[in-house]
């Protein structure tokens, strides 16, 4: 290996390492702290590992006022978002993958435009509109906003997934007696299912992690991130650690499960037919 190449490699790996530590170290500390007995968290100098593993802090967090109800709200909102997003996003992805229609490329690009405007910019008009429509401070309202946020990703991911299912297979099913829809349901859908599951989890996590819109659009029916955000300033340190760790969990779990599909999706989305 030539000298400049070694240098480049070293630089690359150092950067990767830095970024990895940048993300991982806080997660590690939050994780450790949330399983540290409450009184040990304030100790100085702080030991790297707690004296013993304890569920005490987590328990305190989960039993705090409003946590359980907002957790339920979060789950509901995420599930609603999931249902809305898949109901609209999967057929859209299928259409983009299978059919040639006027403005297809425009559609693929246009769908990303919806992510161009920061939520902060839309906050006031959204709140006003939601109050007018009677959606303000409702779970459905939050789910609708989350759907709007997740939809572009859902369409792009499902497009990649359905492009990965050869058209021939559906046509073969049609020559064997299936209708257009039957061919989709019996052949394309089962083959796309693992990928769709990944897209579903992705959507779930987007909704689960979303703070801003959820905070502005609710007062009493807070989702968990909105609840934590609004109470965190007045909370003890161990509450923050436990809350933080609890919020990270689904995302971590999800990442481990779908790494494979993420690669597939990016490969599939760039490989045009």
Partner 1 sequence: MAAEIRLEKVRKAFGKVVAVKDMDLVVEPKEFLVLLGPSGCGKTTTLRCIAGLERVDQGKVYIGGRDVTVLPPSRRGIAMVFQSYAVFPHMTVAQNIAFGLRMRHTPKEEIKKAVKEVAELLQIDELLKRYPSQLSGGQRQRVAVARALVMRPEVLLMDEPLSNLDALLRLQMRAELKKLHREVGTTTVYVTHDQIEALSLGDRIAVMREGEIVQLDTPNEVYDRPATVFVAGFIGTPPMNFLRAEVKGSNGDVYLAVGDFAVEVHEEWREQLKEMVGETLILGIRAENIEVKSTPEEGALPAQVVVSEPLGSQQLLTVQVGNDVLKVATSPDLSVVPGQIIGLVLTKKKIRLFDVASGKALKFE
Q: What minimum distance in Å lies between the beta carbon of 159 and partner 1?
A: 20
Residue nearer to partner 1 on the CB measure, 62 or 178 = 178
> Candidates 13-21, 165-173, 207-215, 246-254 — which segment interacts with partner 1 by CB under 8 A?
165-173
Residue nearer to partner 1 on the CB measure, 46 or 167 = 167
Q: What minimum distance in Å lies between the beta carbon of 261 and partner 1?
A: 17
Reading the block at residue 127, the tokens are 């709140």
Residue nearer to partner 1 on the CB measure, 182 or 250 = 182
Residue nearer to partner 1 on the CB measure, 123 or 178 = 178
Q: What minimum distance in Å lies between the beta carbon of 195 and partner 1?
A: 13
Give the burial string for 13-41 (b: 16+ CB within 10 Å, else e). Answer: eeeeeeeeeeeeeeeeebbbbbbbbbebb
Q: What minimum distance in Å lies between the beta carbon of 180 and partner 1?
A: 7
- Alpha carbon dihedral 225, 226, 228, 230, in 10-degree steps, equals 160
Q: What minimum distance in Å lies between the beta carbon of 40 and partner 1?
A: 53
Q: Tokens 């995302």 identify what position?
A: 251
Nearest alpha carbon to residue 92 among 143, 160, 172: 160
Phi and psi for 37 in degrees, rounded to 5? -55, 145
Residue nearer to partner 1 on the CB measure, 172 or 219 = 172
Examine residue 115 and tell whether it contacts partner 1 (CB under 8 A).
no
Q: Choose, by CB under 8 A, the member of 3, 168, 220, 233 that binds partner 1.
A: 168
- The Cα 209–Cα 23 span in angstroms is 16
Residue nearer to partner 1 on the CB measure, 178 or 229 = 178
> Candidates 33-41, 116-124, 142-150, 172-180 — which segment interacts with partner 1 by CB under 8 A?
172-180
- Alpha carbon dihedral 116, 23, 231, 144, in 10-degree steps, equals 30
Q: Tokens 């299928």 identify what position?
A: 94
Distance from chain centroid for Cα 273: 28
Reading the block at residue 50, the tokens are 């707690």
The answer for residues whose C-beta is within 8 angstroms of residue 141's C-beta and 6 or more apart is 130, 135, 217, 218
Q: 175-214 mask for partner 1 (x: CB under 8 A)?
A: xxxxxx-x----x--xx-----------------------
Examine residue 166 and tell whether it contacts partner 1 (CB under 8 A).
yes
Q: Choose, by CB under 8 A, the member of 110, 171, 219, 252 that binds partner 1.
A: 171
Query: Could you tell me if residue 120 is left (phi over 0), alpha (psi between -120 and 50 degrees) or otherwise beta?
Result: alpha
**Are 198 and 254 spatial neighbours (Cβ–Cβ below 8 Å)?**
no
Q: Choose, by CB under 8 A, the member of 80, 173, 205, 258 that binds partner 1.
A: 173
Residues contributing to the site for partner 1 (CB under 8 A)? 166, 168-169, 171-180, 182, 187, 190-191
């Amino acid at each position: 290996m030539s000298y400049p190449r070694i240098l480049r490699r070293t630089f690359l790996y150092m950067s990767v390492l830095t970024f990895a530590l940048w993300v991982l170290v806080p997660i590690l500390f939050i994780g450790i702290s949330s399983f540290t007995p409450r009184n040990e968290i304030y100790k100085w100098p702080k030991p790297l590992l707690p004296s013993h593993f304890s569920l005490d802090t987590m328990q305190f967090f989960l039993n705090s006022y409003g946590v359980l109800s907002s957790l339920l709200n979060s789950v509901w909102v995420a599930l609603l978002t999931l249902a809305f997003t898949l109901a609209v996003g999967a057929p859209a992805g299928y259409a983009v993958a299978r059919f040639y229609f006027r403005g297809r490329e425009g559609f693929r690009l246009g769908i990303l435009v919806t992510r161009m405007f920061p939520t902060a910019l839309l906050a006031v008009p959204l709140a006003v509109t939601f109050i007018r429509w009677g959606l303000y401070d409702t779970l459905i309202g939050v789910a609708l906003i989350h759907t709007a946020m997740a939809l572009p990703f859902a369409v792009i991911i499902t497009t990649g997934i359905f492009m990965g299912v050869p058209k021939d297979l559906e046509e073969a099913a049609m020559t064997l007696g299936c209708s257009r829809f039957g061919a989709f349901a019996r052949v394309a859908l089962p083959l796309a299912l693992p990928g769709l599951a990944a897209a579903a989890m992705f959507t779930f996590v987007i909704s689960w992690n979303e703070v801003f819109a959820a905070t502005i659009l609710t007062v009493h029916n807070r989702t968990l991130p909105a609840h934590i955000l609004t109470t965190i300033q007045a909370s003890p340190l161990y509450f923050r650690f436990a809350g933080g760790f609890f919020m990270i969990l689904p995302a971590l779990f999800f990442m481990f499960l779908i790494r494979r599909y993420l690669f597939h999706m990016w490969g599939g989305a760039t490989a045009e037919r």
